[in-house]
Each structure stands twice: as structure tokens, then as C-alpha cells.
Structure 1
Amino acid sequence: MSWLVTGGAGYIGAHIVRALAAAGLPPVVLDDLSSGHASFVPDGVPFIEGSILDEASVEETLRAHDVQGVIHVAGFKYAGVSVKRPLHTYAQNVEGTRVVLAAMESAGVANIVFSSSAAVFGTPDVALVTEDTAKAPASPYGESKLIGEWLLRDQGIATAESEHPLRHTSLRYFNVVGSGDPSVYDTSPHNLFPLVFEALIEGRTPRINGEDYATPDGTNVRDYVHVADIALAHVAAAQRLVTGKRIEAAYNLGSGDGLSVRQIMDAMASVTGIPFIPEGAPRRPGDPDRIVASGALAARDLDWKMRYSVDEMVRSGWEARQAAYA
């Protein structure tokens, strides 16, 4: 039996595909390649180019590949852009999740790990975000992910007495960085690591948006978590679902202490060997001083841990970026 990874040709999804295979759980990929890359799918892994909005195609894939569970990563992931494209965001993230759940119900597939986001919390005024922190998403993207969690919850309740009651969990995380395979790298035009890498390659000076935050070095602090650790947590959640162990509705994959943008920049200069002093730029509206999540609950159930130092995160991402254009 296999596991379907929607969005499995993307940066995060492709790492999950590799982690599934390494754990002896055969993966299948469904991806429309709107932001993914066919080259990210390993040889020998079944790949269906298609949309999660096509219910018949999703159901056919579930049946044809004897799928026992879904890791639902596919979606529109750009929070800033979602403000300008709310209808597209809701179509991909809300309707897409509904379609996946409907296809699962029709095909008798009852396990799903949902790739959610820490964007469901918005800008919480707490030192450490936990699973119980109030949800107040500040963008259509964050709202769509929270609705996705509600869809899983409600479908779980609705199918509780059925032949195939839905077992589910949602994994929330902030900034995913690095690479666990030199053939897979972050191609997002909006994320910090690829933005800095491209600036250095093109001979431009990277910028810091805001240097007067109420943090030790004046730059904002976030969770930066390695993509390989994120992938392992998804696999651990999948394994917990199929073995019938108790599982929480949601887990925060947080670092517990966070890193500042200046710490990231210092590591970038050190690891790449390209010395630079980042340019100061105005704050981005709505950017809070610090958002860091606890990963204690995930550590208890999903063997969640930070296995990489900041230098190792940067080095793995930089090496993968360079390998892509070697």
C-alpha cells in the first residue's frame, strides 16, 4: 500500500516523498506543476500530473495505487500574494482540500496528514506559541489553512461511525529552509533563503526589512526549521495514523527559541564565503517582533527535533542551489 503526496513535486513535498521511501512507505505524487518541478520527483516514484481540484482524477489515483493515506501538501503558499489573490487562494487551499477529502471518502481512504501553517496564528502577542494559542490569521492564506483544519475536523466527526472513519492531523510550521538532497532546493520567489542566495549570486547586497524591532539585535525573530526535519515529522505522523496510535488534531513544528534575520545573514556570509553587510530597509507592514513556536507536543509524539544548526541549514540550501546551476 502507498501514500499519496499532493504537491509532491514541490520543495517540501519532494522531501516528504524521499522520507516516505526511506521509511518503507511507497510514495505516489500528484502535482499540477504550478510551482513544483517534475525533476524533483525521484525515478521510480509514480507521478501523476494533475490538479487536486479534479475530484475524479484524485479518486482514480487513490484507487489505482492502493493508497492507504494522503499527505496533503499541495496548495497556494504565498501569504503576501494571497491578499491580492484571495479567490485563487481559497480555490486552491479550501476547495482543493474539500475535493481531496471527498475523493478519499469515495475511495475508502481514511488517513490524512495536512500540511498546515503557523499563519493560522496571525501575529500572536505571546512569547511562545503553543497549539492552544488563539487563532487569528492575518491573510487569506492563513485563513485558508485554518479552514482546511476545520474541514478535517468536521469530516472526522461526520465519518466517526462509518466504515472508514477519518484519522487526521495537521502540522503547522513557519519558515522551512535548507535541503536534504542536492537535487531539491527552494525555488520560491518570496522566501528569505532563496532571496539572499539569488542576491549573492547576482552580486547584489541582501536587505533586512526593519532593524529596530524589540529583539536583542533589532531584527525580527522567527522559527527556521530544516526541510528534512519537516519531512520526517510528516512521515512520523503518517506512521502514527496507520498504527492506530492516539494522535493530536494539530502539532506545531517549532524551534522553541527561533533565529533572528541578522543571525541568518551572518551565517549566510560565513557559509558562502561572500562577505557582506546587509542593507537596511523599512519594516514590512504587520511584521511582529518575534513569533516562535514550541515543538514540545510534536517532540512527544512525532520525534520532532531540530537536527541542524543554522550554519548547516544555510550550507545545505546553498549547496543545493549551486548544484542546480552547476
Structure 2
Amino acid sequence: MHYPKLQRLFLGLLLLVLPATGCNQPNSVSTPVSTPVSPVAQTSPQTPKLKVVTTFLPMYWFTRAVAGDLAQVEVLVPPGSEIHDYQATPNDVQAIAQANVLVKNGLGLEEFLESTVKNAQNPKLKQIEASQGIQPLQELSPVVKPVEKKGEGHDHDHAEGNPHVWLDPVLAIKQVENIRDGLIAADPENKDVYQANAAAYIKQLQALDEQFQQRLKSFNNQCTFITFHDAFPYLAQRYQLKQVAVVEIPEDQLSPDDIQKTIATVKKYNVKALFGEPGTDNKLLSSLSQDLNLTLRTLDPLETGDKDPQYYITGMKSNLQRIEAACR
């Protein structure tokens, strides 16, 4: 009469025991909570990327080459805009206010920066001047001024010297080194990566310098040229070219007096090469070059282009080809 009660009691005990033993089966796929985290997971970055603002395209290229994926890099002056006359926007102020680092060329090029940085009110902002330690060149060649209409002055003089140092591959290396050191100071934990990235890019710049040296050495102060933008004195001095004059021209059109000034300058210096800039309306200059029996070629100051840091390398190689062709 009591067996049914004993059977129910035995079944109850059996149901309590089975779940406990089931948790220890060797075929279980559940992962213990105490499993240690892998070393890769422990070293993955947990902090936000360094926010870096650069002033214009060459500084952006060099900074991206050094920072790689470790930083969020922005450029203030849109590629193709005139850096000399740039007016800062409220977005520029906000970008600097939120940035950890600001990278600038220096040598008085970024005239808009002083008030922009002041308005940003970012006391923690670290500034990197890429041209620090570079001896600036003053005016090396006569500058032929255009005939200015009343109230139309267009002055790009720089009291601190010529700022276009990025167009000399050797000085570009110095700028990359300054940017590298500044990023390491701002983010010392990633020192090894910044050093490795900088070394790889500098190796390309050194190879670029060697190409310029080898291909231009035969001209050795025998290639005289005129430009319409005083952007190339460092390049000329580095590779022993003779920039004999800079002819500044109005941005709208050449007047008859401007043309006569240019013709007189070419004849005076026995000029061999005439260089304009890409992206400008060179119809009048082309006509002028025909009158002078000179081929008008372009030299790129590399203030516009693709955002890939390799664009600097390819752009400078194109400049080398044009110089070599003009000097023959």
C-alpha cells in the first residue's frame, strides 16, 4: 500500500540529481565565464582616435602618411582653394575647438590661423609647425609686378620668407620628421607606429630626391626659367636650376603692359623655360609663349589634388618630367 508513495519520492530525487550531473558532460559547448581574454583583445585600442586638423593639402598628406589609421585627420582649406587668401569659417573654428593637434606649415603662410585658433578656445590644443628648424629663403629672383588697376592690389609677400618648402623633397623630409615628433609628443603610446610610418614615407622622399639629382645634374645652373608664382625657389636652389624671375600676373587677364613686361624679362635673362600652373586659364600665356618661341609648361605647387599621401610623390615626379623636358 505504501509503494506508490516511495516511487514518487524516488522519482523526485532522481529529477533533482539529473540536472546537476548534466552540467558536467564533456560534450557541453557552453564557455566558462572565467575564460581569460586573449592578448589581442587586451591590447586593442579602447580610447578614441587622436583628432588632428591640418591647414592645407601638403600638411594633410604628410600627416596622414605618419598617422596612418591611428588618427582622424582633417584638412581646413579645401583642396584647390587659395591658401594665401583663405578666410576661416565657423566650421574651421569648431574643428580646431575639438582637435587634439593642429598641423601647420608655418613661415607666415596660414595668415588666417591666429584669430581662428583664438576663437576656438582650446587650451589643450597641441600645435605642430612643420617648417620648424628650416631656414627660409628670402626673395632670390626679381619679381616683375603686374600693372594693377586702381584698388586691385594682390599681394602675396611673406615677411617670414618664402613658405613653399614642401616643394623641395629634402625639406619635405624635415617636415615629415617634425610632424612625426609632434604626434609622438601628443600620443606617446603609439610612438613605434608613428616612427615606422614616417620611416616608410621618408624612404620614398629620399628616392624622389635621388631621381631629381640624377636627372637634373647635367643642367647644373644652365637652365634658366621664369614662373608666374614664386613657389619654386627651394626646388631651384636644391637642384641648381636658375629661377631668373617671377612674373606676377593678374588673376583675370593680362594687360598689354603686362605682356610687354614679360617679353622684356624673357629677353633680358635669355630664358629657356616658361612655367605656368595647372588648373589656370593659360590661353593668354600660351599666346605669349608662342610670341616668345618658348613652350609653356606647367609646374604644380601641389596645393590641390587627391587626398592620398602618394599624390605628393606622383605630383613631384610629374614636375620633374616637365622640368627635364623644358631644360633640354
Q: TM tier, shorter chain?
A: 0.3 to 0.5
* Bigger Rg over Cα: 2
Judging by fraction of residues, say which structure has more helix.
2
TM-score (ref. length: structure 2): 0.34
More strand by share: 1
TM-score normalised by structure 1 residue count: 0.34
